[in-house]
Structure 1
Amino acid sequence: MVAPVLLTEDAKDIHSYAIPAEARVTHVALDLVTDFDARQVGGTATLDIQAAEGANRIVLDTKGLQIRSVTNAQGQMLPWKLGNADETLGAPLTVQLNGADQIKITYKSAPDAAALQWLSPEQTSGKKYPFLFSQGQAILNRTWIPTQDSPGIRQTWEARIVVPAPLKAVMSAQNLMPEGEEVEGGGRAFHFKMDKPVAPYLIALAVGDIAFQSLGPRTGVYAEPSMLKAAANELADTERMVEAAEALYGPYRWGRYDMIVLPPAFPFGGMENPRLTFLTPTVLAGDKSLVSLIAHELAHSWSGNLVTNATWADFWLNEGVTSYIEGRIMEELYGRERAAQLIELGWEELEAAIQDAGAESPMTRLHLDLADQDPDEGMSSIAYDKGAAFLRTIEKAVGRQRFDQWLRGYFDRHAFQPITSALFLADLRKNLIQNDERLEQLLRLDEWVYQPGLPANAVVLRSEGFRVVDQQAQAYALGAPAASLGFPKWSYAQQVRFLNALPRELPEERLSALDTTFNLSQSNNSEVLFAWLQLAIANRYDPAVPALERFLTSQGRRKFVAPLFDSLVAQGEWGRPIATRIYEAARPTYHAVTAGTIDRLLKDLPEEQAKAA
């Protein structure tokens, strides 16, 4: 089963060298050895090719790969050439097919391959063994896999991965040999198979001292042994989440839903790699308060993995639809109020993002123009929160039952296929609006997708629990004692709302009272700690700097790291030296996704400060 390649103009992927109308990859078979000393993976990638009649070449995406040879299935050498390298896109690898429908590429990744993070034992929880993980979104997998690295060119795949004993490999596919097999030289080989066509960025690998605990009939969690019990306790509701999602949007089509809690350097909250969601340890608050992240990554099993944006210009089709489904799963399991609080926090972030960018900025559209930009630039809260607000607006207009029926059918109609904004709107009009002119005018579909800012018909879901919090934030700003607040009994979302609602200018004694009364600098909840540190930075509150330094050097989640460094830089002579000092220590521990963002942020600092970064 191979999904078709879209040939419409809006489906053309400007972030890939591939020419799928000529020839496309349908299957990838990897046979790789991990070399922790050299920080390289190397071996072969065998690609099955579907070529148009008369086509004699295929163009692949690579970045920094050391290509040794390209042969056909019979071992005969094929002519190949690497084109000029682009800083963002890498270099095209053009192979003359000479009639071949399968090619084998022998290669190694570069030691600085952006998708791969090699961690020393000291950077892990156990402190005994090294660790490796990959992060391919958006266009980073071309740094370790020579294929057509475009979300619109879905591929099945398999892999044989050799790792040093006693390490274990896991991947985003069926694990055919969970304990591996011994190989010559003392290593172990692990075998994986993904029989469903996926976007190439979803091929993912982790290698380390990894243990597993079951959570249900088809769910479980991997982690370093020292973290496994805490991870299993935190993620205990996962099986219930799968059941809730299926009841809403149809069967889960990937077999198992497992997760792996990675070391702190992982740059995202989660990554929805099929069958194996990658998670940050910052989700482990100890009280299950942050499990909406699991609901989000699980929702990607329908939106993103099952139906995938054809290009990164339509990233919102992954994240906006997923954020909407996340809210529905949370409501089903934990009630409307908890879901409403999370949704309203997202609305806050959306309003702030639009204000920062400017309401007329083209970057506040859902469908983006990313010409001459790294697609990473489009991965903002606009895609997530504006996209989700768009779907909630449609739901409100047509009714939940009717909208659910349409959305479930949407996933069935486009299963294992790429999608564009134009196709999404066409499906809405055909299967939901059905020539209802009044409804068409009411929804303002094209305005939502193609225009900047927020349409006037946007539906805002409000939380009753936030009204009390807002009143207490106002009271505290006017002098009410910290002990009078209901802070300890609030949900984490209410605590975040309270901290965000406080004035950005508070006397030092008021900040100290909050920190002392509620131990904010030591909070186990990463979202609460982040909100507190943002407030502290805004007030140049020196007593919080040690907590800030611990937070920025103990995890690399970009959602937290980038805004904190941005806030420090905005504080001028007070914040900039702190930012450069902390970044000098933290940068070697960050994944390239996070480090690249902070590098761009700090590049305009005065030269003497930039050197430290």
Structure 2
Amino acid sequence: MRPPNRPPSGRNAPRPTGARRGAVLRPASFQRPRSPVLRPSILALPILAYAAACTPAAEQAQPQTAAATPAPTVAPILTGEDARDASSYARPAEARVTHVALDLAADFAARRLSGTATLDVAATRDAKQIVLDTKGLEIRTVTDDRGRALPHALGAADADRGAPLTVQLQGARQIRIAYASAPGAEALQWLSPAQTAGKVHPFLFSQGQAILNRTWIPTQDSPGIRQTWEARIVVPEPLSAVMSGERLTPEGEPAATGTRAFRFRMDKPVAPYLIAIAVGDLTFQPLGPRTGVYAEPATLPAAAAELVDTEKMVETAEGLYGPYRWGRYDMIVLPPAFPYGGMENPTLTFLTPTFIAGDRSLNGLVAHELAHSWSGNLVTNAVWADSWLNEGFTSYFENRIMEALYGPRRAAQEAWLSWADMEKALKELGPDAAGTRLHDDSGADSGGIVYDKGATFLRTLERSVGRARFDAYLTSYFDRHAFQPMTSARFLADLRANLVRGDQALERSLLLDQWVYQPGLPANAARPDATAFAPVDSAVAAFNAGGAAARVPYGGWTTAERLRFLNALPRTLPQPRLAELDRNFKLSDSGNAETLFAWLQLALANRYEPAVPAAERFLLAMGRRKFVAPLFETLMGQGDWGQPIARRLYARARPMYHAVTTSAVDKVVK
């Protein structure tokens, strides 16, 4: 996902995946790893052998894309203290899900997905039961592959994790669950026609990271338990369904009267949070031999124009770290209610329309989500306390793609924005806070650490050993661990074995354990190029000294430079100076969501009344958490002036926001 708060000149700014970022999406409780390198335990080995033996030969022989490495039918699991997932009820060393087959119908009136999930199970010989993750699901029946009812029970529900579903296997190695999602399932956003771009048809999309897919799929919802999957989705005509897998019936096939069925397949084992769905009035435009974009008809032309460099990005990424292994790389631009900048669902990246600026200045978002095809989707954190292994790697990789495509200057500027976000997080959390560790089980959830400190760590490794050597290591890392989960402990062991290679002087200089397990910023951190924003910083100094806004070359700057300027201005400015900025740079009318957000944060904090209509338009037009939550927080912080505005706007906007966004804003607008 894109970091929630930062917006580089092409970046979505984080994921929430980031300004940039907001909080990283992951469960609140984690366990600090205590054991070193992790391998599948002796208990787990029979599970893998059994699953491989039971997989049909035809399924094992699925065709691969050119240059792709065949994926294992059953991905290995990691066991041990540092691979224990506190966010899941599953006990994968005893019995685990290896494949999910969904047959679901979308009911827009009831706001429910209902049907069946058929799960293939790999289990040890003495395993009596399997434990699944669910949240709010209506479980109707559970049967084996011969239709026999299997005893099952839902345990006590936890507010975050939901309730465990324990099924007595009675020798079964395939179970079929008939169920329905709840109307308020947190992963699913059901939009009325008025909340879409076309205003005619309803829309549905899912957002599963980190542990929300258990609200619509009964499976083991842990990133370390990778699963292949297939699906048949029935939707009302004339809507289309797309999912994060191979599209077997792009045009659909007849189903019940007034409906069409769409079929999908993912033959590579993925983390469960990467199973994603969208249903709506969708059209498609190809961008290259293996790239294209879905969107509502009203959005498609602008989206396609913004994404013309996508095929080149895929080629550039492959040139850096090896073949793209997922077949196609398509994208879908969702309605504005989507709560993130982007989500890296395999074969189908989900994108916010707020990246459409008209000048491709925010297409770093695409580079970020594409990079996840290696870091995150190919090699995945086994537990959410290690999400830096996804986001830190991806932020570093994103910057390398941007450098290769658009040059060192833009890459250096975006690296500086990342550095600034990291410094802000260190200051806000405190340099000695547990939440500033890369392996973070504190629940601090700071994008400035997970994304930016993680990227800085990898940049430090690169400068320490040289780019060529580090690139060779990363390429081999992705190859050796493809389609596998990873932990911090295992990564450090791999790094020592394949990069450090016993060089004691290098080991001492890298401070590896300090980077991952200790708070704060190690002394060897590699700072970005200090001259990247020199002209912008000079303009800031001149303006702060009383210079005229008309002398600032704002119009000729990149998005990164404009953000540097706006964020470097004093946080307290008099009304005439704010009006001067607004008038000269047309800030309240900006079509770039990143610069508009930066301006509104400054203007509203200074109670600049002319910016209120722009804030109202912005907050009612999109639901991206990275923008929405901070703006409401700024308004609420303005006492009698801002709080009535915040409450009035939120009452109107809340129905269109995703649960991810409302969960944050509800705490602010009380």
With the length of structure 1 as denominator, give the TM-score of the two structures: 0.96
Q: Contact conserved, 1:315 with 1:379, CA < 8 A, in 2?
A: no
Shift of 1:601: 3.0
Query: Residues 432-456 of structure 1, C-alpha deviation per residue, up to 9 Å, x if partnerless?
Result: 0111111111111111111111111
Identity, in percent, stands at 67
Q: 1:285 is matched with which residue: 357, 382, 395?
A: 357
Give the whole-Å Cα distance in 2 for the aligned partners of 1:483 and 1:36. 52
Give the whole-Å Cα distance in 1 for the aligned partners of 2:647 and 2:412. 38
Residue 552 (structure 2) aligns with: 485
Give the whole-Å Cα distance in 2 for the aligned partners of 1:386 and 1:10. 21
Shift of 1:424: 0.6
Give the whole-Å Cα distance in 2 for the aligned partners of 1:236 and 1:176. 25
Give the whole-Å Cα distance in 1 for the aligned partners of 2:609 and 2:423. 29
Residue 46 (structure 1) aligns with: 118
Deviates more, 1:422-431 or 1:344-353: 344-353
Structure 1: give runs of 5+ residues left out of the alignment. Answer: 603-609
Q: 2:152 is matched with which residue: 73, 76, 80?
A: 80
The letter of the residue matching 1:334 is Y
Give the whole-Å Cα distance in 1 for the aligned partners of 2:641 and 2:457. 40
Match status 1:312 vs 2:387: no
Give the whole-Å Cα distance in 1 for the aligned partners of 2:128 and 2:571. 63
Q: 1:103 is matched with which residue: 169, 172, 175?
A: 175
Deviates more, 1:39-48 or 1:526-535: 526-535
The letter of the residue matching 2:160 is T
Q: Contact conserved, 2:435 with 2:446, CA < 8 A, in 1?
A: no
Shift of 1:552: 1.4
Match status 1:472 vs 2:554: no
Residue 660 (structure 2) aligns with: 593
Residue 450 (structure 1) aligns with: 517
Match status 1:275 vs 2:347: yes
Query: Residues 487-527 of structure 1, C-alpha deviation per residue, up to 9 Å, x if partnerless?
Result: 00000110000001111111111110111111101111111
Query: Residues 253-302 of structure 1, C-alpha deviation per residue, up to 9 Å, x if partnerless?
Result: 00000000000010110000000000000010000000100000000000
User: Equivalent residues in 2 for 1:3-402 (5 A)?
Assistant: 3-370=75-442, 378=445, 380-402=447-469
Q: Contact conserved, 2:582 with 2:588, CA < 8 A, in 1?
A: yes
The number of residues matched between the two structures is: 598
Q: Contact conserved, 1:139 with 1:201, CA < 8 A, in 2?
A: yes
Query: Residues 178-210 of structure 1, C-alpha deviation per residue, up to 9 Å, x if partnerless?
Result: 000111221000000000000000000000000
Residue 641 (structure 2) aligns with: 574
Residue 530 (structure 1) aligns with: 597
Q: 1:403 is matched with which residue: 464, 470, 474?
A: 470
Partner SS, residue 601 of structure 1: coil
| Change in CA separation of 1:329 and 1:518 when aligned onto 2, cut-off 3 Å | same
Residue 606 (structure 1) aligns with: none
Give the whole-Å Cα distance in 2 for the aligned partners of 1:533 and 1:345. 19
The letter of the residue matching 2:617 is R
Q: Contact conserved, 2:208 with 2:276, CA < 8 A, in 1?
A: yes
Q: Contact conserved, 1:315 with 1:378, CA < 8 A, in 2?
A: no
Q: Contact conserved, 2:136 with 2:215, CA < 8 A, in 1?
A: yes
The letter of the residue matching 2:334 is L
Residue 605 (structure 1) aligns with: none
| Change in CA separation of 1:202 and 1:330 when aligned onto 2, cut-off 3 Å | same
Deviates more, 1:327-336 or 1:1-10: 1-10
Q: Contact conserved, 2:423 with 2:448, CA < 8 A, in 1?
A: no
Partner SS, residue 292 of structure 2: strand
The letter of the residue matching 2:401 is I
Give the whole-Å Cα distance in 2 for the aligned partners of 1:138 and 1:570. 30
Shift of 1:576: 2.6
Give the whole-Å Cα distance in 2 for the aligned partners of 1:538 and 1:431. 50
Higher helix share: 1
Q: 1:514 is matched with which residue: 581, 584, 589?
A: 581
Structure with the greater relative contact order (CA < 8 A, sep ≥ 6): 1 or 2? 2
The letter of the residue matching 1:158 is E
The letter of the residue matching 1:368 is D
Partner SS, residue 551 of structure 1: helix
Deviates more, 1:151-160 or 1:476-485: 476-485
Query: Residues 149-174 of structure 1, C-alpha deviation per residue, up to 9 Å, x if partnerless?
Result: 00000000000000000000000000
Give the whole-Å Cα distance in 1 for the aligned partners of 2:645 and 2:358. 30
Give the whole-Å Cα distance in 2 for the aligned partners of 1:435 and 1:10. 24
C-alpha RMSD of the superposition: 1.0
Partner SS, residue 114 of structure 2: strand
The letter of the residue matching 2:604 is I
Q: Contact conserved, 1:249 with 1:408, CA < 8 A, in 2?
A: yes
Partner SS, residue 253 of structure 1: coil
Give the whole-Å Cα distance in 2 for the aligned partners of 1:451 and 1:588. 42
Give the whole-Å Cα distance in 1 for the aligned partners of 2:186 and 2:537. 43
Give the whole-Å Cα distance in 2 for the aligned partners of 1:338 and 1:34. 44
Shift of 1:463: 5.6
Shift of 1:560: 1.2
Give the whole-Å Cα distance in 2 for the aligned partners of 1:575 and 1:449. 41
Give the whole-Å Cα distance in 2 for the aligned partners of 1:142 and 1:57. 19
Give the whole-Å Cα distance in 1 for the aligned partners of 2:257 and 2:127. 43
The letter of the residue matching 1:293 is L
Structure 2: give runs of 5+ residues left out of the alignment. Answer: 1-72
Q: 1:548 is matched with which residue: 601, 612, 615?
A: 615
Shift of 1:571: 2.9
The letter of the residue matching 2:470 is F
The letter of the residue matching 1:223 is A
Deviates more, 1:565-574 or 1:87-96: 565-574
Partner SS, residue 157 of structure 2: coil
The letter of the residue matching 1:461 is P
| Change in CA separation of 1:575 and 1:353 when aligned onto 2, cut-off 3 Å | farther
Q: Contact conserved, 1:341 with 1:463, CA < 8 A, in 2?
A: no
The letter of the residue matching 1:347 is W
Query: Residues 458-482 of structure 1, C-alpha deviation per residue, up to 9 Å, x if partnerless?
Result: 1111263411111111111221111
The letter of the residue matching 2:218 is P
Deviates more, 1:422-431 or 1:475-484: 475-484
Q: Contact conserved, 1:199 with 1:308, CA < 8 A, in 2?
A: yes
Query: Residues 54-79 of structure 1, C-alpha deviation per residue, up to 9 Å, x if partnerless?
Result: 00100000000000000000011000
Q: Contact conserved, 1:13 with 1:311, CA < 8 A, in 2?
A: yes
